[in-house]
Amino acid sequence: MASTSSPNFRDALLRHLTYTMGKDPEHAQFFDWRMALSHAIRDRIVDTWVSSTRKTYQQDGKRVYYLSMEFLIGRLLEDGIVNLELVDEVKEALTSFGMDYRTILDDEPDAALGNGGLGRLAACFLDSLSTIGCPAMGYGIRYENGLFKQSFVDGRQVESPETWLQEPHPWEFERPEVLLRIGFGGEVNYENGKTLWRPSEMIEAEAFDTPICGWQGKWANTLRLWAGRAVDPFDLGLFNSGDFAAAAEHEALARTISRVLYPEDSNEAGKELRLKQEYFFSAASIRDILRRFESAHDDLRELPNKIAIQLNDTHPAIAGPELLRILHDERGFSFEEALEITHGCLNYTNHTLLPEALERWDERLMGRLLPRHLQIIDRIDDAHAKANPSRTLSARSDGQVKMGELSFIVANKVNGVSALHTDLMKQTVFKELHELHPDRIVNQTNGVTPRRWVHSCNPALSSLITESIGDEWVADLEQLRKLEGVIDDKGWLDRFMQVKQNNKQALVDYVAKSHGVVLNPNAMFDVQIKRMHEYKRQHLNILETIAHWQEIKDNPHADWVPRVKIFAGKAAQGYYFAKDIIRLINDVSKVVNADVETRDALQVIFLPNYNVSLAERLIPASDLSEQISTAGKEASGTGNMKFALNGALTVGTLDGANVEIREQVGEENFFLFGLLADEVMQRRMIHDHAQQAIDADPRLGRALAALRDGTFTPEEPGRYNHIADNLTWSDYFLVCSDFSDYWRAQREVDKAYKIKPKWSKMAALNTARSGWFSSDRTIRGYMCDIWGAESLLA
Ligand code: 26Q
């Protein structure tokens, strides 16, 4: 992997330390080195960026616009270094100044502009779009405060604000010249046969651009994030009259629109500010897209041939009515023609079937904030009803605007994110709309970028793979299949497992240093990391852990397979049940880890503040990946793919993309358990399903009893009664019904782990056969089936 000579890079680093940071190497802090390094890397990315942008304009092919409320990017410096293949140069240059590579990289805060899967998917897509050379742009919001920081006080989650922008952010370019006025409220007037919306409030959207560089620095696209600004930041009248606070108030109000990311990942809160955020960034993006199109073309009817807009869930759904409004009210197209153009441009990705997560807005709220859009939504409904007279399906009904229905009706293509999820969309939430438009729904199974999730987070595995099959796999992940040719070589397999062992040791060192807990590196690392949610069933995991601990205590000298149970994940602030599960896991951890009788066989730890960077440490060090959602509830999952790629085995239900992972890696290399999606629906019909399951499995009964009798909370025995009650009397997510089969699967896991050669081969086969889960494959699918876009790389 050749690159430019190191003296050059060393010079660039020193130049930025001196002239950008104004520091002498003698006195520079880690921060100064990181900034200097970031600028040196950024310079090279900018060269690619400028040439990619030029080529995009010259070729005038179809452009893709990815609209997303969330981009969970994580750190960017290592990404840049890795993509430009400058790792050795950078290490050498830093070492020559006495600086440590890892220390400098770890100084960067995560850009946590997302909640979880949906936001991280958007970030992986940006990486793949640039790697493939698809002319594309991401649009989102430049939140001043990303997802809250999580810490524990007495085992309880405590949130504090995340402040990634308090330090200068070297990756963005402010574009003060790109300032768009976004209106809210006001009234709709009819003048000279035209409809005119006169908003009563204006906020300006200012653009901030971040270049996103693809693999080997061949192409770079733009992520454009909008920040709220006051149109008239300072009321001079008020200022002159001496009311300085009131003079600045307007500015403060405008800025709140991009102040904070809503930390809810599955519960529609119906908050006015959230709707304002959605319209703010959708409208700014649509305006920007049209302006760019009109600078080079004069016939807006060409729009669907030149652009494709992807709505990442319904959060930007208002972009549809906004585009329609501009075409009809401002550009003079008939409503029908405006609708046709809009329909040709927009596509919608659904990420959830959970009823409580489907966005719905009160029509009074929408009518107050966006009066013209509400009228347009009615006309969309009318047009749809006219074209489909046999049905009465509408986006607006029962006093609400249903953003899923609206998106479906407006969109050209609608997609689900795994095969099972797409099927369920057709059978449940969008059943009737699917019958009317049978060609509209397509599947695009999610993927993850192999650059971040293998090559860069697991450098030792990456080297071993490259040594074995060459380096093309990084941009062509299905080449990992070639590893099947070397897996039967005992020497190779030993090296593969040695990589895992070293990664586990590195995690042990990190946890010891940062949390003061010493984990057993020879135990199986069993990991569940994701947002806390009942459907994801962290409580099934902890119940099985309790039952397992009880069994070990019954017979402490038996030949137990040692395990370390690792949890991490945030709960939404107001989701009390999820927060109580965090506390329960922390309480169990305290008791179990202190038990000298069982300590060698079982440890439990909940790591605080799960984020992208922590995932990058945990996944390469995992033996077992917990993907145990109630079947039919997890749309896809993407963590599941990262684990499999890094050689962890999955214990999981047939849910989301688990189904496809199992198909790819082979059923003998996957620990399956649990009810299937249709069985879940059947099981719920049995009124005492939980009670029956408890009666049938004494282990479950005993674990639940431990929740009630204060085993883990001697100071407050009743603390978890409500969890035990919920599981016994309601158990919507079928924790009890799946418990016995989960227990069985876990014992199979133990058995397999005991036979080292067997486990090693299964793990290696997971790596070798997971190449299909590259987000490059996913993006090619979107380009071909949805966007009709082409790569501009030769
Ligand atoms: C909606 C309204 C108001 C406030 C917040 C929200 C909101 C925000 C985020 C609703 C949902 C989300 C995020 C959903 C999400 O992350 N879904 C996950 O998407 C992944 C990528 O497709 C899938 O792999 C996961 O299965 C799915 O849960």
Atom of ligand 1 nearest to the CA of 264: 5
- pLDDT score at 5: 41
Residue reference for tokens 């062509």 = 476
- For ligand 1, atom 2, the nearest C-alpha belongs to 268
Q: What is the DSSP secondary-structure string of 304-347?
A: HHHEEEEEESSTTTTHHHHHHHIIIIIT---HHHHHHHHHHHEE
| Residue 635: C-alpha distances to residues 425, 478, 576, 757 (Å) | 10, 23, 23, 34
Task: Check whether 771 has a pLDDT greater than 50.
Answer: yes
Distance 158 CA to ligand 1 centre (A): 22
Distance 309 CA to ligand 1 centre (A): 19
424 lines ligand 1 (CB under 6 A): no
Mutation to probe ligand 1, out of 72, 265, 350, 536 (largest number of atoms < 8 A from CB)? 265
pLDDT, average across residues 647-660: 98
Task: Count the alpha carbons within 13 Å of 140 in the hemisphere toward its beta carbon.
Answer: 28
Q: State the Cα–Cα distance between residues 616 and 619, nearest whole angstrom.
A: 6
Mutation to probe ligand 1, out of 275, 277, 351, 444 (largest number of atoms < 8 A from CB)? 351
Q: State the Cα–Cα distance between residues 374 and 385, nearest whole angstrom.
A: 17
274 lines ligand 1 (CB under 6 A): yes
- For ligand 1, atom 7, the nearest C-alpha belongs to 265
Atom of ligand 1 nearest to the CA of 121: 21
122 lines ligand 1 (CB under 6 A): no
Tens-place pLDDT, residues 320-375: 999 999 999 999 999 999 999 999 999 999 999 998 889 999 999 999 999 999 99
Tens-place pLDDT, residues 64-99: 999 999 999 999 999 999 999 999 999 999 999 999
Report residue 239's pLDDT band, with 50, 70 and 90 as the boundaries. confident
Q: State the Cα–Cα distance between residues 411 and 132, nearest whole angstrom.
A: 25
Q: State the Cα–Cα distance between residues 605 and 590, nearest whole angstrom.
A: 9
Distance 68 CA to ligand 1 centre (A): 11
- Ranges 221-235, 318-332, 767-781: which has the least confidence: 221-235
637 lines ligand 1 (CB under 6 A): yes
Tens-place pLDDT, residues 387-438: 999 887 899 999 999 999 999 999 999 999 999 999 999 999 999 999 999 9
Q: State the Cα–Cα distance between residues 260 and 613, nearest whole angstrom.
A: 21
- pLDDT score at 386: 96
- pLDDT score at 1: 37
684 lines ligand 1 (CB under 6 A): no
Report residue 4's pLDDT band, with 50, 70 and 90 as the boundaries. very low
Report residue 264's pLDDT band, with 50, 70 and 90 as the boundaries. confident
Tens-place pLDDT, residues 553-593: 999 999 999 999 999 999 999 999 999 999 999 999 999 99
Query: How big is the CA angle at 165 (ends 163 and 170), to the nearest 5 degrees?
Result: 145
Q: State the Cα–Cα distance between residues 431 and 728, nearest whole angstrom.
A: 33
Do the Cβ atoms of 472 and 740 come closer than 8 Å? no
- For ligand 1, atom 5, the nearest C-alpha belongs to 264
Q: State the Cα–Cα distance between residues 327 and 181, nearest whole angstrom.
A: 17
Hey, is 774 helix, strand or coil?
Answer: strand
- pLDDT score at 308: 98
* Token representation of residue 680: 């879940």
Percentage above 70 pLDDT, the chain: 98
- pLDDT score at 193: 86
447 lines ligand 1 (CB under 6 A): no
Report residue 242's pLDDT band, with 50, 70 and 90 as the boundaries. confident
Atom of ligand 1 nearest to the CA of 637: 24
Give me the active site residues, please.
351, 530-531, 536, 638, 642
- pLDDT score at 3: 42
Report residue 753's pLDDT band, with 50, 70 and 90 as the boundaries. very high
- pLDDT score at 241: 82
227, β-bridge pairs? 206
Distance 529 CA to ligand 1 centre (A): 16
Hey, is 624 helix, strand or coil?
Answer: strand
Distance 307 CA to ligand 1 centre (A): 25
Note the pTM of the prediction, 2 decimals.
Answer: 0.97
Neighbours of 449 (CB within 10 A): 29
Q: Which of 208, 112, 105 is nearest to 160 (CA)?
A: 112
- pLDDT score at 765: 98
Tens-place pLDDT, residues 756-768: 999 999 999 999 9
| Residue 594: C-alpha distances to residues 377, 505, 560, 603, 688 (Å) | 60, 22, 18, 9, 37
- pLDDT score at 7: 63
**Which DSSP letter does residue 277 get?**
H
Atom of ligand 1 nearest to the CA of 70: 9
pLDDT, average across residues 538-547: 98
- pLDDT score at 249: 80
773 lines ligand 1 (CB under 6 A): no
Task: Check whether 166 has a pLDDT greater than 50.
Answer: yes
Do the Cβ atoms of 649 and 557 come closer than 8 Å? no
Do the Cβ atoms of 665 and 487 come closer than 8 Å? no
Percentage above 90 pLDDT, the chain: 93
643 lines ligand 1 (CB under 6 A): no
* Token representation of residue 671: 């620990």
Mutation to probe ligand 1, out of 70, 115, 118 (largest number of atoms < 8 A from CB)? 118
Q: State the Cα–Cα distance between residues 157 and 571, nearest whole angstrom.
A: 8
pLDDT, average across residues 538-542: 98
Distance 122 CA to ligand 1 centre (A): 11
pLDDT, average across residues 504-524: 98
pLDDT, average across residues 127-139: 98
Task: Check whether 116 has a pLDDT greater than 80.
Answer: yes
- pLDDT score at 390: 83
Q: State the Cα–Cα distance between residues 142 and 228, nearest whole angstrom.
A: 9
- For ligand 1, atom 12, the nearest C-alpha belongs to 265
Task: Check whether 487 has a pLDDT greater than 90.
Answer: yes
pLDDT, average across residues 619-635: 99
